[in-house]
Structure 1
Amino acid sequence: MPKPARLRTAALLATAALLSATVSGCTDDTPKDEDLTAQELTWKACPVPSPLEGSSESPSPLPGGDEWQCATMKAPLDWSDPEGDTIGIALIRAQASGPKDKRIGSLIFNFGGPGGSGVTTLPAFGDQYTKLRTRYDLVSFDPRGVGRSDPVVCKDDEQLDEFFETDGTPDDAAERTALVDNTKSFNAACEERSGRILPHVRTTDAARDMDLMRQVLGDDKLYYFGISYGTELGGVYAHLFPKRVGRAVFDAVVDPTLTPEESSLAQAGGFQLALDNYAKDCTSKVEECPVGDTEQDVKDRIAKLLRDLEAKPIPGIFPRDLTQTAATNGIVQALYSKDFWEYLTDGLQQAYEGNGQILMFLSDSLTGRNEDGEYSNLVPANVAINCSDDKPRYTVADVEENLPEFRKESPMFGDYLAWGLIGCTDWAVPGAAEHPDVSAAGAAPIVVIGNTGDPATPYEGAPRMAQALGKGVGVELTYKGQGHGAYDSGNSCVTGAVNSYLLDGTVPKAGTVCT
C-alpha cells in the first residue's frame, strides 16, 4: 500500500482499534470582532463517535459513574488571519475526581498519529490515568483535520480498499508506476474534497490551537502529556510558547533532528529490532515456539510467507485477500506492543495454513478500517499533516538510490518504509521544514521518556529531543522495555516518576533508568 509519509501511528491508537457517514466540517461564521480566548465552552454528554473518529460507541462511564463530557472550541481556520473564519475543535474531558482545592488544572493529551482522534482514544484508556485525574481534568481533542475537527477526507471506503490493495513494495516498472499513480490519485482526492483545510493542518497550527485551549480552559500554563507524534506537537508548542509550559511529559519520543528519510530509516531499524525481540521471546519460552524453531527460523519463515503472498495472496477477511503488503501491515501493527505478540503468533500460524484473517484484521487496525468496512480518517489526516510539515518531496529515483541502505537496516521492512517516502508526491500544500524546531529556552522542565525497545520512535530520539529542547528543559528518563511508549507499560518506576512530576512537581533526576 502507499503508506503515509512517515508511519507514526501511536500504539494507543492501535490498541483502541483492536478493542474496539458522512461528516461535515465544524465550521461557523464567527463575528470577526469576537475574542476567541473569552469563549465559554458548552460541556454536554458526548455524541456517538462518527466512523471518521475510529469508533462507533459512546465512551463508557468513568469509575464511580461519572460521564465523559464533550464540547467544541472555536479556533481560527488560518492563524495568520486570527480574526477570519473559524473551525471547531472537538474536545473531551473527565473532570478531576479529587478535592477542588487540590485541583491543578487541565492535563491535555495528544496520543499521536498524527491523525488520531483524542476524543475516542482518551476514554479508551482513561483508567490508566486515574491517579492523574485526582488533581487534573483529563482533556483531549481531535486536532484540526482529524475526526470531528474539520476532518481531511480523500477517498470513500470502497476506493480506500482499492488504495490499500496496491503493492507497496514494487518490484518492476509496472508496479512502480501503479504505486506512484495510486499515490497521486489519493492526494488529488484529498485536494478535491478537503482543499479548504489542507493549508491549515501543520503542527504549528495545532500548537496554537493548544495555547488557545489552555486559555479557554482557564489555565495560566499548559499541562501536557504527549505520546508519539504528540511529543513533536509538544516540542513545537514549547518552542512557540516556552514561558507558557507548565508540567509536561513526552513519551515515545519523535526524534526532532531527523529529516523524513532519516526518520523512516530509523523506523526500519526500530521495527527490525522489535521483530528480532519477538523472535527471541517466542523461541526462548519453555514450550515450543509455533512459528519457528530458532530466532533466524522465525524470521526466515516470515520472509518466505511474504514472498509467497507476493506471488499468490491467500483468503483474508471476505471478500478481500491477504496480500504481501497487507500482511506486512499486520506484522508491523503487532510489533507496536508486546501485548500484541500473541496475536502475531496466532496470525502467522493461521497464515502458514492458508488463512489470512488475523493478519488482515491487524492490517485493518493499522489503516483505520472497522469490521463494517468503514475507514476512520487516520490515514488521510496523517498524510495531510506530515506532508504539510515536511518540506522534502521524494521521487522514485530517490527511493531506488536509498533502497540498499534501507535493506541493510532492515531486511524485512526496508523496502516497505523506503517506498513510503513517496507519500507526498504532488501534495497540494508545500511542506514547512526539513524537521521541526523544538528549541525552548526558558521553558519549565519537560520529562522526556525513551523506551529502548520502541519500534516506531526508536530510543535515540529521546536524548536528541532532550538536547534539542535546551539545557535545563529536557529531562531524560530511560525505560528498558518493549513496545511503543513506556507509561502504558505499567512499569512502576516510570509511572511513579511521571505521576510525581505531574502531581507534585518533583522533577526526576536526569538520566534515570527504569527496568
Structure 2
Amino acid sequence: MRVFGKRRWRRASAAGLVTVAAAALLPASTGAAAAAETRVPARYAQQRLSWHTCDGAPSLECATMTVPRDWHRPANGPDLSVSVSRHRAAGPAARRGVLMMAAGGPGGRGLLRPAALAEDSPAVAAAYDIVSFNQRGLPLSTPLRCQTRAEFDAFFGDDARDRSPAAVRATVERSRRLAGACQERSGGLAPYITTDQTVRDMDLFRALLGVRKVAYYGPSYATMIGAYYATDFPHRVDRLVLDSPVGFDGTWQTFLEGQPRSFQRRFERDFLPWLAARDATYHYGRTAAAAKATWEARRRALRDHPADLGNGRRVTPNRLDFGTGQALYDASGGFAPLATALAALDHWDTATPAERGTVQTVFGDYLSPEFLAEYTAVTCNDTPWSRDLDDWVRRTAGYTARYPLVGARALAFSAVCATWPASRAPRVHVTGKGLPTTLMLASRHDPATHYEGALRAHRALRGSRLVTVAGGDHGQYRNGNRCVDELVNRYLLTGAAPAGDVGCPAPEPADG
C-alpha cells in the first residue's frame, strides 16, 4: 500500500437464478462462512469468458467478466466489468490448480502481474494457472472517476507541513471536494468500491474458471483482500500467502494512524544510516543525524526555490517527501536512486542529463488520479472513520511534528474519509476459521504495512505462520531473498508450512 504514503457451472432453474452445486454460491452476509447462501443470477453465472492475448503481455490471456454493481442486491443498478487475466501452467501434466493474485494499494492494478510471477518463479508457473484482475473501479475494468489530472495535481499542494490556518482550511476544502466529486462523477459507483464487493467478484471468477478451490498470493492491501476472501469463502481456499499484511483485524483508520511512525522509522533507522555510510559518494553527512539535517535543509530550500523538471513539473517540499517515501519500500532498488537524486538537487544547475533523469524518476510523479480514486473509495467505504474534523486537525498536527515524512499529509487523506458519505459495507471479522495453515510474511521496519499491524493480523488469523524478515522492505516474496522464496515456493508447491513462526535475514541493499 503506497500511501501515507505487484469454465463450467451446472445449470439449474428456469427462473433465471443458478445454484451450482456448492461451487458457485455466494454468502449472503459477510464474515460468516456458515451464513445462508444466496444464488447467483444466471446472467453472471452462465457467462463464458472470451480469452485473447493481453495487450503488452503476450504470455497472458485476458478477458472481461460481468459482475453486479452490488452483490447484495444484484438486481439493482447497472452491471460492471472486471478485466481478468491468466497465465496457463507451463507443465499441464503436473498442473495442481489455480493461483489467484490481487494487487495492493488500494489502487494497484493486478491484470498483468501473473507474467512477472511466472517469470520469477518458474516452478510455481509450471504447477499453477496464475490468474489476476484489475479490481472494480480501476482502468480496464469499470473505472471510478473522481478528479481531473489538474485537480489531482492540486490536491496535495506544495508543502503539507504548512499548518497556518489558511493552509489547513485549504487542505480540508480540497479533501471535501475530492469526497464530493467521487460521489457526483461516478454515476453511483463510489459506494460499491469495497473489499467486500471485490472478494465476491473474485469468487465468481473462480467459478467461471471451473475450479472448486484456489491458492492465493497477495501483497500489501491484497492481504486484506485475501483475508476477507478466506473469511467469506474458507471452503474455496487451498493455500493462502499474505505478504506484508495490513492490519486487517481492525479498521482502516486504526491501521493508517500507524503509518506516519513506520515511515519515519524506516527513514531514520535504515535509509539515513545507509546514506551516512556513503558520504564519500553522496556528501550528505557522515552520521545519520548529519544526513537528516542536510535533507531537511534541502527541503527548506525547495520551499522557496523548487527544482524545475520541465513540462510543468517541479520538485517541491511535498514532492521531496513523496519520492523519499516511495524509495523506502525497497532498499536494493530505491536507496541508491534516491541518494543520487538528492545529490543532484544540491547542484541542480549543473546536473548531468543522467542525474536529471534520475530526479525525474524519483520525484517527478506520485500516484495518479485513478489510484487515488480507488484508494479513497476503499479506505473510506470499508470501515468507519471519525468525522470530527477539528480532532483530525489537532491529531495530524502532532503527526507533522513527530513523524513529518508522511505525517504532514495525513490531514489530506483523513479529511476525505471524514467527509465521505456513510458506507453500508458490511464489516468482516477475520478469524482463520475453516482455513488451512496460512503463510504470512512481514519485515520489521516495513514503512507502509507496519510490523505492529502485521503482528495483530497474525494473531487474528488463527493457525497462521509468520515469517519475520529483518530490515524494512515492503513485499518479501520475489524480492531477492532466498530464505523467503524457498519457504513460499515449498508451501505453494507441497503445502508444507513451517511448524511455527520463523525468521529470515534481510536481502542486501545495493551500494549504488
TM-score scaled to structure 1, two decimals? 0.83
Shift of 1:241: 1.5
Shift of 1:360: 5.2
Of residues 438, 457, 471, the one that matches 1:465 is 457
Q: Who is 1:361 aligned against?
A: 361
Aligned pairs, number? 464
CA gap 1:364/1:147 in 2 versus in 1, 3 angstroms: farther
Q: Who is 2:221 aligned against?
A: 229
Of residues 481, 484, 503, the one that matches 1:491 is 481
Q: Who is 2:272 aligned against?
A: 279
Cα distance in 1 between the residues matched to 2:493 and 2:273 = 38
Of residues 442, 447, 468, the one that matches 1:455 is 447
Q: Who is 2:399 aligned against?
A: 406
In structure 2, give the amino acid aligned to 1:454.
D
State whether residues 241 and 440 of structure 2, in contact with CA within 8 Å, keep that contact through their aligned partners in structure 1: yes
Q: Who is 1:86 aligned against?
A: 79
Shift of 1:425: 4.0
Cα distance in 1 between the residues matched to 2:431 and 2:306 = 48
Shift of 1:351: 1.9
Q: Who is 2:48 aligned against?
A: 40
Shift of 1:202: 0.9
Within 5 A, what are the aligned runs for 1:179-198?
179-198=171-190
State whether residues 334 and 340 of structure 1, in contact with CA within 8 Å, keep that contact through their aligned partners in structure 2: yes
State whether residues 194 and 381 of structure 2, in contact with CA within 8 Å, keep that contact through their aligned partners in structure 1: yes
Shift of 1:228: 0.1
Range 477-486 or range 76-85, more displaced: 76-85
Shift of 1:418: 4.8
State whether residues 243 and 475 of structure 2, in contact with CA within 8 Å, keep that contact through their aligned partners in structure 1: yes
In structure 2, give the amino acid aligned to 1:463.
L
Q: Who is 1:478 aligned against?
A: 468
CA gap 1:108/1:481 in 2 versus in 1, 3 angstroms: same
In structure 1, give the amino acid aligned to 2:502.
T
Cα distance in 2 between the residues matched to 1:90 and 1:309 = 42
Alignment of 1:308 onto 2:301: yes
Shift of 1:35: 5.0
Of residues 483, 507, 515, the one that matches 2:497 is 507
Within 5 A, what are the aligned runs for 1:94-493?
94-98=87-91, 100-124=92-116, 126-165=118-157, 167-276=159-268, 277-285=270-278, 287-338=280-331, 339-354=333-348, 358-359=358-359, 361-368=361-368, 377-403=370-396, 405-407=398-400, 409-430=402-423, 432=425, 437-470=429-462, 472=463, 474-493=464-483
Cα distance in 1 between the residues matched to 2:160 and 2:433 = 42
Cα distance in 1 between the residues matched to 2:301 and 2:310 = 18
RMSD of equivalent CA atoms: 2.5
State whether residues 104 and 220 of structure 2, in contact with CA within 8 Å, keep that contact through their aligned partners in structure 1: yes
Secondary structure of 2:322's counterpart equals helix
Shift of 1:359: 4.7
State whether residues 8 and 229 of structure 1, in contact with CA within 8 Å, keep that contact through their aligned partners in structure 2: no
TM-score scaled to structure 2, two decimals? 0.84
Range 147-156 or range 280-289, more displaced: 280-289
1:70-95 Cα shifts (integer Å, max 9, x gaps): 00112121111234542111011111
State whether residues 168 and 420 of structure 1, in contact with CA within 8 Å, keep that contact through their aligned partners in structure 2: no
Cα distance in 1 between the residues matched to 2:61 and 2:202 = 18
State whether residues 438 and 465 of structure 2, in contact with CA within 8 Å, keep that contact through their aligned partners in structure 1: yes
State whether residues 268 and 410 of structure 1, in contact with CA within 8 Å, keep that contact through their aligned partners in structure 2: yes
1:218-237 Cα shifts (integer Å, max 9, x gaps): 22112110100000111111
State whether residues 175 and 412 of structure 2, in contact with CA within 8 Å, keep that contact through their aligned partners in structure 1: no
In structure 2, give the amino acid aligned to 1:383.
T
CA gap 1:158/1:452 in 2 versus in 1, 3 angstroms: same
Cα distance in 2 between the residues matched to 1:365 and 1:484 = 20
Cα distance in 1 between the residues matched to 2:409 and 2:183 = 25
Secondary structure of 1:413's counterpart equals helix
Shift of 1:286: 8.5
CA gap 1:199/1:407 in 2 versus in 1, 3 angstroms: closer
Secondary structure of 2:441's counterpart equals strand
Shift of 1:395: 4.3
Secondary structure of 2:460's counterpart equals helix
Cα distance in 2 between the residues matched to 1:238 and 1:172 = 46
Secondary structure of 1:68's counterpart equals strand
CA gap 1:364/1:463 in 2 versus in 1, 3 angstroms: same
Cα distance in 1 between the residues matched to 2:441 and 2:424 = 28
CA gap 1:86/1:468 in 2 versus in 1, 3 angstroms: same
1:386-434 Cα shifts (integer Å, max 9, x gaps): 111131144442233324652565244332335432122432452747x
Cα distance in 2 between the residues matched to 1:158 and 1:405 = 30
State whether residues 240 and 439 of structure 2, in contact with CA within 8 Å, keep that contact through their aligned partners in structure 1: yes
1:132-160 Cα shifts (integer Å, max 9, x gaps): 11111111100111121111112222332
Q: Who is 2:35 aligned against?
A: none
Cα distance in 2 between the residues matched to 1:310 and 1:122 = 42
Structure 1's unaligned 5+ residue stretches are: 13-30, 48-57, 62-66, 369-374
Cα distance in 1 between the residues matched to 2:63 and 2:3 = 30
Range 389-398 or range 193-202, more displaced: 389-398
Shift of 1:314: 2.7
State whether residues 264 and 418 of structure 1, in contact with CA within 8 Å, keep that contact through their aligned partners in structure 2: no
1:290-335 Cα shifts (integer Å, max 9, x gaps): 3222111111111222223234423134323221112111111111
Cα distance in 1 between the residues matched to 2:490 and 2:361 = 38
Shift of 1:378: 1.1
Cα distance in 1 between the residues matched to 2:175 and 2:100 = 34
State whether residues 169 and 419 of structure 1, in contact with CA within 8 Å, keep that contact through their aligned partners in structure 2: no
Secondary structure of 1:131's counterpart equals helix
Cα distance in 2 between the residues matched to 1:501 and 1:366 = 35
Cα distance in 1 between the residues matched to 2:480 and 2:458 = 23
In structure 1, give the amino acid aligned to 2:482.
S
CA gap 1:496/1:125 in 2 versus in 1, 3 angstroms: closer
Greater gyration radius: 2
1:357-382 Cα shifts (integer Å, max 9, x gaps): 745533454313xxxxxx5x111111
